[in-house]
Structure 1
Amino acid sequence: MTRAPGRLFTGAPVAVIDIGSNSVRLVVYEALSRALTPIFNEKALCGLGREVLSTGRLPQDAVDRALAALKRFRALCDAMEVGEVHALATAAARDAENGPAFIAECEAICGRKIELLTGKREAELAAAGVVAGVHAPDGIVGDLGGGSLELVDVKGRAIGTGVTLPLGGLALQDRSSRSPRKAEKIVRETIPEAEVLGALAGRTFYAVGGTWRALARLHMYTKGYPLHVMHGYVIPAREALDFTRIVHRADAEALAHIDVVSDARRPLLAYGALVLENIVRQGRPSEVVISALGVREGLLHSLMPEEERVRDPLLIAAAEMNVLRSRSPRHGEELVAWTDGFFASAPVLEEAEDEKRLRRAACLLADVSWRAHPDYRGEQSLNMIAHAAFAGIDHPGRAYVALSVYFRHMGLNTDESDTRILELLTTGMLDRARILGAVMRVAYVLSAAMPGILPQMPLQVRGDQLVLSVPRKVVSLVNDRVYNRLRQLARLIGREPLLEQGD
């Protein structure tokens, strides 16, 4: 394969083939990394699980579609020179009478062993996906597939024992003979069996799976939400109850913005809404958070060495983008250290640990749009960062990092920015973003984005002064423009600017 300048080559691409009860999917990642970056993602909605509970068998037409998809996936993996292909199958293949024969055909096509996940194993991998993609998770993970619902407790990096319930969308559709009333009775009788939900009160419910993502997308567009990124999308529990009740009792085609959900997903929306409503009602979480990372990412996460799993995926992804798009990646790293010193010197700007990691990510991303026209560097940075495929960051964090870099390019006013994204920030976060933008404005006019300069010129708060120390040998780098930006920053933090010349 010819190496592309826009790709990192830290190892061969790695792929996961996921043979689910509703969809069969191939995802190819750039490499096995803590910051997994998909370079190809395709699914075929085959409906393998649609009749398993009533007939005990995988439908032949669904089997044929799945096998055809797998032949294409095998050819794509060969063309993309994938190093490792991991294949797994879930509830439908696990429960069907003809499941073993189907798996054998799949293995012959894929040329490798397919792991047939138990319900417990599927729950644990879904939780590992949330651990991989959410910063410091604390709650219950629910993975809703076509055939089953897996539930498991997660706190930090600790994963509990998973349970599985036959409440997948296709399974419910089959068991209820497409009767909403029967489906509601089944769900209400089954959900209380999940003792793990007793530990959900006041915590977060992490929703994994295509049907719940489709439901959240519908909610997002109904609300006119300003950021169309699914991972990390939050629905308060009370609102989740109201919205799911509307969806499962209404004709999906009549819902506003239903066009944002694919035709193939719409029939299962009501069943997914019914399950989520009853989970929220019984478990009483504080909020529902959508995780775009699940079983596939959890599988790869589990294959990494321990020292890789404990790393911060946001900072790794920001560092990778810094390498790929900045004028000087080393300057970005120096900017992190330079701002470390500045914020540590100012007690009034004391940072929590999460604020510190967001600030460091912003420093690494501060120069990624330098090739754009100067008038649009801020706008391009804001869009690129806010919509990037980052893990380990919530939506307010995205807005904070994106606006910090926007301010670095465009000045500290919000008049010309995408003001809708401001809705995601508290007043305090917006103030910190403006201060960080001002700090970066000093750094870039001083250094021209070149390495080796910032380490010589520490920026510190001393009492009521903001001091930029300038060694004699580089004093020619300082002019009125540098001083004006220093004065602008000083005004923001209530200090007097001082240029201090040293030896």
Structure 2
Amino acid sequence: MPGFSHMRTDSGPPLYAALDLGTNNCRLLVATPLTRGFRVIDSFSRMVRLGEGLATTGRLCEAAMERALDAIALCAERLARRPAHRLRAVATEACRKASNGEGFLARVRETTGIDFEVIGPREEAELAVESCASLLAGPEHRALLFDIGGGSTELAWLRARRPGEAPSEVIGYASVPLGVVTLAERWGERAFTVEGFGAMVEDAVAAFRPFDEIHRIGDEIGRGGVRLIGTSGTVTTLAGVALGLPRYSRALIDGHTLSGAEADGALAALCAMGRPGLLEHPCVGPGRVEFVLPGCAVFAAMRRLWPAARVTVADRGLREGMLIRLMRADRRRHSGRPYRPRALPAARPPAA
């Protein structure tokens, strides 16, 4: 089967596609550019749990690879129906860490024709910043952007922009090897107990503290003017609970800003539901029940270290960042100007 990287449409505006294979989910987004931003033509998301068992074996298990391959095959079918002018497909933490990750992606390429690129933590952070650029304008002079993933949590410490100013400047970033899948597998049913949840929070606090010691984010928050921006399923779920939504609505959640008290209240409400309540909640459901409290524990650790007055919720991530970059590169190419993506500064190693 031929690759998809340079397929073109014969009529109408060009289509761009971004495919993100993470530790927990496989997500596709197809869009066409507008004067500002883009219009979504098609989207797909499926929980594949590619990182199942990875923390203990160091390998992707066969069942997880089959789930991911099935989802990618569905994405390939969608792309065949809507051929894209440009496609970028990336794999993240699970394929980075697994000893058989490269072999699995070769199998994907042979089976579906989609050629995945394994990106590093630095580019993950860059793409998250890219996708949330429009949310960064505000009264605060600093922002901490975070993405609680399946196998890792990405952090980016930003000098925020005000309306009309230049784009935000990234001061520092880190990829912390702690995510909802790793915590769920480590703690199992204990995650639903008060003691287990508290232990998960302590794990996360210890993992994030070196980043705080480097950048003194807690001190900045104490002086005011810092906002948290979250791009993960954990924070979108918290927002759905805080807003009392009868079902999840991206239109109501993406870009919504919670006060610190609202975020903390939603966190407490989720923790109090227990497994039965989480199973029945319209913003959670059976597919995600195992991962909600581990994600909440990571968020609780952030709130302990970084109790900012506001938390902005973003239902966007790597796919949106990839699309923005692809479209911008084409605009620059057509205008004759070279495209140079803004790079993050070199990461400083965490404290021992």
TM-score class, shorter? 0.7 to 0.9
Q: Is the 8 A contact 2:32 2:40 kept in 1?
A: yes
Structure 1 191/231 Cα, relative in aligned 2: closer, same or farther at 3 Å?
Answer: same
Structure 1 20/32 Cα, relative in aligned 2: closer, same or farther at 3 Å?
Answer: farther
**Which residue identity lines up with residue 170 of structure 2 in the other structure?**
I
RMSD, matched Cα: 3.0
1:228 Cα deviation after fit: 5.6
**Which residue identity lines up with residue 124 of structure 1 in the other structure?**
E
Q: Is the 8 A contact 2:240 2:248 kept in 1?
A: no
1:35 aligned partner:
37
Structure 1 50/246 Cα, relative in aligned 2: closer, same or farther at 3 Å?
Answer: farther
Q: Determine whether 1:186 maps to 2:203.
A: yes
Q: Is the 8 A contact 2:248 2:282 kept in 1?
A: no
1:198 aligned partner:
216
Q: Please give the TM-score of this superposition, normalised by the length of structure 1.
A: 0.55
**Which residue identity lines up with residue 107 of structure 1 in the other structure?**
R
The percent identity for this pair of structures is: 24
Cα distance per residue 1:364-413 (max 9 Å; x no partner): xxxxxxxxxxxxxxxxxxxxxxxxxxxxxxxxxxxxxxxxxxxxxxxxxx
2:232 aligned partner:
209
Structure 1 83/91 Cα, relative in aligned 2: closer, same or farther at 3 Å?
Answer: same
Q: Determine whether 1:242 maps to 2:242.
A: no
Q: Kindly report which structure 2 residues correspond to 1:240-279, keeping only aligned pairs within 5 A, or say none.
A: 240-254=263-277, 258-279=281-302
Give the secondary structure class of the aligned counterpart of 2:145.
strand
Higher helix share: 1
Cα distance per residue 1:397-434 (max 9 Å; x no partner): xxxxxxxxxxxxxxxxxxxxxxxxxxxxxxxxxxxxxx
1:163 aligned partner:
174
Q: 4+ residue runs of structure 1 moved beyond 6 angstroms?
A: 222-227, 306-309
Q: Please give the TM-score of this superposition, normalised by the length of structure 2.
A: 0.77
Give the secondary structure class of the aligned counterpart of 2:244.
helix
1:22 Cα deviation after fit: 0.6
Report how many residues are paired: 303
C-alpha distance in structure 2 between counterparts of 1:27 and 1:307, whole Å:
18
Q: Kindly report which structure 2 residues correspond to 1:87-126, keeping only aligned pairs within 5 A, or say none.
A: 87-126=89-128
2:143 aligned partner:
139
Q: From the CA coordinates, give the structure whose radius of gyration is larger.
A: 1
1:305 Cα deviation after fit: 3.9
Structure 1 304/187 Cα, relative in aligned 2: closer, same or farther at 3 Å?
Answer: same
2:157 to 153, 159, 162: 153
C-alpha distance in structure 2 between counterparts of 1:97 and 1:211, whole Å:
28
C-alpha distance in structure 2 between counterparts of 1:255 and 1:129, whole Å:
29
Q: Is the 8 A contact 1:244 1:274 kept in 2?
A: no
Q: Kindly report which structure 2 residues correspond to 1:61-460, keeping only aligned pairs within 5 A, or say none.
A: 61-132=63-134, 134-135=136-137, 138-154=142-158, 155-156=160-161, 157=167, 158-180=169-191, 181=196, 182-195=199-212, 198-199=216-217, 201=221, 202=224, 203-221=226-244, 229-254=252-277, 258-305=281-328
1:336 aligned partner:
none
Structure 1 228/252 Cα, relative in aligned 2: closer, same or farther at 3 Å?
Answer: farther
**Runs of at least 5 residues in structure 1 that lack an aligned partner in the other structure:** 4-8, 310-503
Bigger relative contact order (CA 8 A; separation at least 6): 2
Which stretch shows the higher mean deviation, 50-59 or 282-291? 50-59
1:224 Cα deviation after fit: 11
**Runs of at least 5 residues in structure 2 that lack an aligned partner in the other structure:** 1-8, 162-166, 333-352
**Which residue identity lines up with residue 174 of structure 1 in the other structure?**
E
1:286 Cα deviation after fit: 1.5
Structure 1 303/255 Cα, relative in aligned 2: closer, same or farther at 3 Å?
Answer: closer
